[in-house]
Amino acid sequence: MKPVSPTLQPVAAGDRIEVIDILRGVALLGILLMNMEALSGPLDLAFTGIDPHWHGLDYWVDAAVYVLVQGKFFTLFSLLFGAGFAIMAQRAEAARRDFTTFYLRRSGGLLLIGLCHALLVWSGDILVIYALVSLPLLATREAPQRWLPAMGVATYLCAAAMMLLLGAMLGLVGQVEGDGGALGSAMAQGQQTVELQRQAYGHGSFGQAVAQRASDLGTALSGALIIGPEVLGMFLLGSWFARSGALADPARFERLYRWLRRGALPVGLLLMLISASWVPYLAPGTFTPTTGAAYALSSVASLLMCLGYLAWIVRWRDRLRVLAPMGRMALTQYILQSLVCTWLFYGYGLGAFETMPRAWQVPFAVALFALQVLLSHAWLRHFRFGPLEWIWRAMTYGRWPALRR
C-alpha cells in the first residue's frame, strides 16, 4: 500500500466532533460493565437478567448492572456508528467523491476485524452484526432527514415485536407438545451449550476455544432477526443526530436534550424496573409469552434510557472531555478489553474462569477502563490513530495513512 493522497485521507483530529468521541468513551465503559459476566464465565449465562445463583451483594450488583447498564450502551454505541456514517456521507458529498465503494470497503474491513475478534478472541463480538447491518443502512443515505427519527424508532420496535411473536409461537408449541416436547429439548440444549462453553473456555486449549467460538458465532448470527432491527434502528437515529446538527451544535437542541433527560430517562427506568420485577431471569433455552413480553418491554426501556444517557453526557461533555481519546481509539480499546479479560479468565490464559464474584467485576472493569484511558492519552500523543483504527483505515482507503504525528 502507498501513503494516502491529499485528496483521500482520514479526518484530521481538528475536524472531529469531540462530543462523539466523548460519547464513545462513555459507551465503552458501559459495554465493559455489561460484558464482564460473559467474559469471566459462560457466554450463555450472561445477558439473561438477574441471575438467581448470585446471592447477597453479588445479586444486587447483578441487578443494578441489568437495570442500569445492560442494553443501554451497546445501543448508544450503535447510535454513534450511524452518526459516523452520516458524517462520512456528508463529507464525501462535499468532496464530490464516490461514497458507496468507499463505504463497502469500510464495512468489509469491519467484517474481517469482527470475524477475527469473534473466532480468535471472544464470541460475544458485536462488530460482525454492525458490518452486516451497515449494508441496509447504506440504502437509507438519500432518505429525507425528517424521516429518520420515525424510521429509526419503527425499525427498533420491530425487535420488540419479534420478541412478542416468538414468545407467542413458543407458547403455542408448549401447549401442543407439553413439557416433554420441543420446549423441554430447548432447555436441555441450552444447559448443554453452557457446559460446552464452560469446558472450552474455562478448561480447554486455544483450539478448543476457537471451535466453541465458531459454534457460538453461528448461534449469534441466527439471533440477528432480533438484534439486527435494534442495531439498524439506532443507526438511523444516529444518522439523524448527525445530519440535524444535534451533535455538532447541541446548544441549538437544548429543548430536545432537556426532554430526553427529564422525560425519556425516567420513563425508561420505570419500564425497566417493571420488566425486571415481572421476569427477573430467563434461563438458557427457555422463552414463553410472558418472558417475550417482559423482554420486549425491556427493549423499549433500553431505547429510552440510552437516549436519556446521551442527553446527560452531552450536558456534561466538558467534565467528560478526558474520555475523548478513549473514544478516538474505540475499536482498539473494545478489542483490547476482550484480549485482557480472556487472557485473565480463560483456561489457556491465567484460568480464573468463574472465580471472580459479581460484586468485584464492577471495580475490576472500572480499573481496567481507567488504565485504558491513560493508555489512550499516551498513545495519541505520538500517533494519529489507534493501531486497529489505522489498519481499518488502510483497508478502507486502499493506502496506508500516516500513523505517527
Task: Say how far apart CA 191 and CA 214 lie, in whole Å.
Answer: 18
C-alpha cell belonging to residue 247: 451533535
**88 phi and psi angles, rounded to 5 deg:** -65, -40
Amino acid at 157: L
pLDDT (tens digit per residue) in 12-59 = 555 579 999 999 999 999 999 999 999 999 999 999 999 999 999 999
Q: Based on C-alpha coordinates, what's the Rg of the chain?
A: 21
C-alpha cell at 376: 489512550
> Cα separations (Å) of 292 from 129, 171, 219?
22, 10, 19
Q: Which of 221, 225, 219, 220 is nearest to 158 (CA)?
A: 225
For residue 4, is pLDDT > 50?
no
- Looking at residue 205, its pLDDT comes to 97
Q: Which amino acid is at 371?
A: L
Give how far the C-alpha of residue 386 lies from the chain's centroid of Cα atoms, to the nearest Å. 19
pLDDT for 172 equals 76
Q: Read off the pLDDT of each residue in 167-190 and give the average, rounded to a whole number.
A: 68
Mean pLDDT of all residues belonging to the chain: 92
pLDDT of residue 223: 82
Q: What percent of the chain has pLDDT over 90?
A: 80
Residue 61 scores a pLDDT above 70 = yes
The maximal CA–CA distance of the chain, rounded, in angstroms, is 67
pTM equals 0.92
The 10s digit of each residue's pLDDT in 97-110 is: 889 999 999 999 99
